């Protein structure tokens, strides 16, 4: 029986949309043929979880895109895992690795760098990289995961996640390309909905739209200017005193 | 004029130590006020994606730790130099935590410019950044990933270098001294 490790790399832990994708994948997997094991990078019991990852036949990593690459929390987790694995003898087993990465922006192509990082990780750790699914408009997907309409519009996304399941079932699958998908939702409408959503969320916190543009550290950006003024003032003041 | 060095305290190579020292001297000689902040594991919390810096306390992270010092120094500097290990072709976790939490400097709204969605800036002016990646062993794929990622998605970075051996330092110093 093959065992599959589903690693949730979201810093939001169980509240993130990454877990939702892994659950979708888990549902489609035949539990008579495979055992699945969920791991959360956030608050992980590292030693036990690292052992599970090491012994897995398949590893699926799902995570959100932070500043165009892996979130710091997941990066720390993978760094720790590499220290753990390097301190042990290398096993013969070659784990197949898949990645599911989602971003809030409409263009899934921007996740390309993150997929390359996971690919490099596989190369370093001697794992077998299969392919990744990059998902755009993640915020819309997350907000509408219980809505029939959004799920219908996202069928392309869920089909791509289904490709992972199909590939796991295949043995010795050939080389695969990464998938770049997003819900079938116009770009301008995505931007409009997201911008509206921020304003209404601010309202819940007792702020209005204008408050979101706040610049609490504005004076720091004028540091040089202010310093020049103060040196000028000091000089003038000191000189003036001398004259006086 | 002020320069801020953001460094990873947990992993340094002999080449990166030498480079850090030379850079400090170079900036000081050019009349910069220098400030260096080193990030260790556990001194800076990872971003948890709560968006508090956008919708609860706009412009300020809700978690009050070393980030406040980094952020105020970041905004008051003319140049920011990152010295980061290159791990799997990305910034190390310590440096990535800083970059993640500098999200506070952009606004929540999405605007499409030149066909690509972006978050507008919070302040008008930001420092120019110099990104230096180092490690004892960087594979060609990792190097390419790192350089591509910085060039494509960090427009505020004016110069980017990857440093493996100590003899590459001289060239890096020469290139940086041209722009400061």
Q: How confident is the model at residue B127 (pLDDT cuts 50, 70, 90)?
A: very high
Pairwise CB contact (< 8 Å): A120 & B109: no
Task: Provide the domain limits for residue A225.
Answer: 214-243
Q: Mind listing the pLDDT tens digit for each residue in B148-165? A: 999 999 999 999 999 999
Residue A47, in any domain of the structure: yes
Clarify whether residues A112 and A223 are in a common domain. no
Contact by Cβ (8 Å): A75, B87 = yes
Clarify whether residues A132 and A231 are in a common domain. no
3-class state of residue B90 by DSSP: strand
Q: Mind listing the pLDDT tens digit for each residue in A159-174? A: 999 999 999 998 777 8
Supply the mean pLDDT for chain A: 92
| pLDDT at residue B177 tops 60 | yes
Mutate to test the interface with A, among B89, B119, B153 (most CBs of A within 10 A): B89
Residue A220, in any domain of the structure: yes
Instruction: Compute the distance between CA of residue A7 and CA of residue B8 in angstroms, rounded to an integer.
Output: 27
Residue A205, in any domain of the structure: no
Instruction: Compute the distance between CA of residue B80 and CA of residue B83 in angstroms, rounded to an integer.
Output: 10
pLDDT at A244: 52
Task: Tabulate helix, strand, coil % of chain A (nearest 5).
Answer: 55, 15, 30
CB neighbour class for A143 (10 Å; exposed up to 12, middle 13-18, buried from 19): middle
DSSP state string for B130-152: EEEEE-S---HHHHHHHHHHHHH
Contacts of A185 in chain B (CB under 8 A): none
| pLDDT at residue B108 tops 90 | yes
Q: How many structural domains is chain A composed of?
A: 2
Clarify whether residues A160 and A229 are in a common domain. no
B:79-98 residues touching chain A, CB 8 A cutoff: 87-93, 96-97
Instruction: Compute the distance between CA of residue A242 and CA of residue A244 in angstroms, rounded to an integer.
Output: 5
Q: How many helices (H) and strands (E) does chain A have?
A: 10, 6
- Count Cβ–Cβ pairs < 8 Å, chain A vs chain B: 164
Residue A199, in any domain of the structure: no
ipTM of the complex: 0.96
**CATH code at position A81:** 3.40.50.360
Please tell me which of the candidates A68, A75, A198 has its beta carbon nearest to residue B54. A198
pLDDT (mean) for B83-101: 97
Q: Mind listing the pLDDT tens digit for each residue in A172-206? A: 778 899 999 999 988 888 899 999 999 999 999 99
In angstroms, the separation between the Cα of residue A244 and the nearest Cα of chain B is 33
Residue A196, in any domain of the structure: no
Pairwise CB contact (< 8 Å): A75 & B87: yes
Q: How confident is the model at residue B174 (pLDDT cuts 50, 70, 90)?
A: very high
Supply the mean pLDDT for chain B: 95
pLDDT at A224: 84
Clarify whether residues A99 and A151 are in a common domain. yes
Pairwise CB contact (< 8 Å): A212 & B91: no
- Residues with Cβ within 8 Å of residue A152, at least 6 apart in sequence: none
- Please tell me which residue of chain A has the smallest CA distance to B73: A220
Backbone torsions φ then ψ of A223, nearest 5 degrees: -50, -50
pLDDT at A197: 92
Q: Calculate helix-pair angle for A17-28, A155-169, nearest 10 degrees.
A: 50
Clarify whether residues A182 and A234 are in a common domain. no
Q: Mind listing the pLDDT tens digit for each residue in A72-131? A: 999 999 999 999 999 988 777 789 999 999 999 999 999 999 999 999 999 999 999 999
How many C-beta atoms surround the C-beta of residue B1 within 10 A? 15
Instruction: Compute the distance between CA of residue A196 and CA of residue A31 in angstroms, rounded to an integer.
Output: 42
Q: How confident is the model at residue A11 (pLDDT cuts 50, 70, 90)?
A: very high
Mutate to test the interface with B, among A123, A217, A225 (most CBs of B within 10 A): A217
Please tell me which of the candidates B54, B90, B125 has its beta carbon nearest to residue A69. B90
Return the H-helix or E-strand segment holding B161: strand B157-163
Contact by Cβ (8 Å): A43, A15 = no
Residue A85, in any domain of the structure: yes
| pLDDT at residue A228 tops 60 | yes
């Amino acid at each position: 029986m093959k065992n599959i490790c589903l690693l949730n790399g979201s810093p939001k832990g169980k509240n993130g949309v990454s877990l939702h994708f892994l659950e979708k994948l888990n549902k489609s997997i035949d539990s008579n043929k495979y055992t699945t094991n969920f791991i959360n990078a956030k608050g992980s019991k590292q030693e036990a979880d690292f052992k599970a990852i090491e012994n897995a036949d398949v590893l699926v990593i799902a995570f959100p895109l932070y500043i165009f690459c892996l979130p710091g929390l997941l990066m720390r987790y993978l760094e720790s895992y590499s220290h753990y694995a390097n301190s042990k003898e290398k096993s013969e087993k070659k784990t197949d690795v898949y990645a599911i990465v989602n971003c809030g922006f409409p263009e899934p192509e921007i996740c390309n760098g993150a997929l390359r990082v996971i690919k490099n990780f596989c190369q370093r750790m001697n794992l077998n990289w299969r392919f990744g699914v990059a998902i755009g408009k993640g915020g819309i997907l997350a907000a509408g995961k219980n809505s029939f309409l959004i799920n219908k519009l996202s069928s392309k996304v869920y089909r791509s996640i289904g490709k992972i399941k199909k590939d796991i079932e295949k043995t010795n699958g050939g080389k695969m390309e990464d998938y770049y998908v997003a819900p079938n939702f116009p770009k301008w409408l995505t931007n409009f909905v997201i911008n509206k959503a921020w304003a209404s969320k601010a309202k819940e916190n007792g702020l209005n739209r204008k408050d979101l543009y706040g610049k609490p550290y504005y004076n720091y950006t004028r540091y040089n200017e202010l310093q020049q003024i103060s040196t000028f003032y000091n000089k003038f003041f000191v000189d003036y005193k001398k004259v006086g | 004029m002020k320069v801020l060095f953001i460094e990873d305290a947990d992993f340094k190579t002999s080449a990166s130590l030498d480079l850090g020292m030379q850079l400090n001297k170079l900036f000081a000689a050019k009349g910069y006020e220098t400030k260096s902040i080193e990030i260790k594991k556990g001194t800076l919390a990872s971003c948890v994606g709560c968006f508090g810096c956008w919708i609860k306390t706009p412009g300020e992270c809700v978690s009050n730790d070393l980030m406040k010092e980094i952020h105020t120094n970041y905004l008051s500097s003319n140049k920011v130099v990152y010295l980061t290990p290159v791990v799997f072709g990305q910034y190390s976790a310590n440096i990535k935590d800083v970059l993640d939490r500098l999200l506070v400097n952009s606004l929540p709204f999405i605007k499409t410019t030149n066909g690509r969605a972006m978050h507008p800036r919070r302040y008008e002016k930001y420092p120019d950044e110099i990104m230096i990646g180092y490690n004892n062993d960087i594979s060609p794929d990792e190097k390419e990933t790192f350089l591509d990622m910085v060039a494509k998605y960090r427009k505020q970075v004016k110069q980017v270098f990857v440093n493996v051996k100590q003899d590459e330092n001289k060239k890096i110093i020469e290139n940086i001294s041209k722009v400061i």
